[in-house]
Structure 1
Amino acid sequence: MRDETAARATRGEGRRFLIEPATVADVPGIVEALVDAVAVAYRDLKVEPGKEGVPAMIRDLTHRKPREFEELIAGGGRVFVHRTADGRIAGFAQFSHVRTDASAIPFTFFEGWHVLREYRGTGLAKSLLRLVLLESGDVEIRTMTTRDSPAWTVFKEKLGCVETGGLTPTPAPLAMAGLDARQQSLVLTRAKRRELLDGWLAGF
């Protein structure tokens, strides 16, 4: 059943975007948005000599991600999209159902959100993020991202996430492409989540 919150329009930068649960039919558009984002986000990362870097990463995503998203969505995973009037996926957000850690602390793991380049600056990214905060409920939101990447800057400087633990090694798919993408765990506290929602992500 479609979630009432997810099915309603959310506002960003004066515009309204209908954010809805993804279907398997949306997977090609989701992968398109992901690849478009990766091409920008990873372009300035150091590349190991003799490796291709971003082009190799894009080939891997194009090959691997369609089936992963199909299985995730078919299994009830939380992926939400904005479809344009002609059915194109302009952006999507992916996050987990609420979990508990070893200390019985509930949290949502935020895999990330991606918007096609031509839709950046329209408020769509803000609308997708607001939907994630609403749907997650009053729990911590945890994520992991490449240190010093554009996403890391957004999480740290614009959203107020705090670092937890030290850096972890570059994930295997990125390492195979020769990219230096060591990861940093981040958490958006419950208090910060409420503050962002109260301010409707003002200034983001």
Structure 2
Amino acid sequence: MAELVGGNSEELWRAAAREELLQINDDLLYTEKTHFATAETLHRVNLSFGLITTVLSTAAAATIVADRSPVAAGLLALGAAILSGVLTFVKPEQAAAQHLNAGRQLGALRVRARQVANLDLPRYSQKELRKLIADLVEEKAKIDAASPVTTGRNFNKARQRIQGGIFDRDDITAAYPADVETKRPGIMPENGTSL
């Protein structure tokens, strides 16, 4: 990394390492919250379809018991069967649990990245720090590979919540002098406070 920052000044190298940790932290935050938003969406889908299936089944049974229109009873039963089949095939609750698990793993990794930046950065050698950063990146890649895909819609939902202050991002710049400037447009407000 030192060769990338224009010399082997320890201070410049640590600033570059800190910036890399900030980038990793932001990536983890957005990915984590996207998985949580996806889990929330899938939970709502499961709940909605389940409730509609129950209502249709109940209405079909009531229509049959009341000896009303056999066509209405058949349509209601068909609707309930179709929605039940969709729930069985798509398994939104199972997918929601997978997204929730991925979000939790990413959150734990984000805590590790924050701790490296806030607590460990000054005490590690360049070699040790490079390994820690590489390990963080590798572990995130493993979590990403094992996780179900997310959608742009859920990413946008997560981004709006982060930027709106609903999810508070870790302010890992707090451990460093105020004169150290971060160059991450759209991530940190100019006043340096956390989102």
TM-score bracket, shorter-length normalisation: under 0.3
Structure number having the greater strand percentage: 1
TM-score, normalised via structure 2 length: 0.24
Structure number having the greater helix percentage: 2
Higher RCO structure (Cα 8 Å, ≥6 apart)? 2
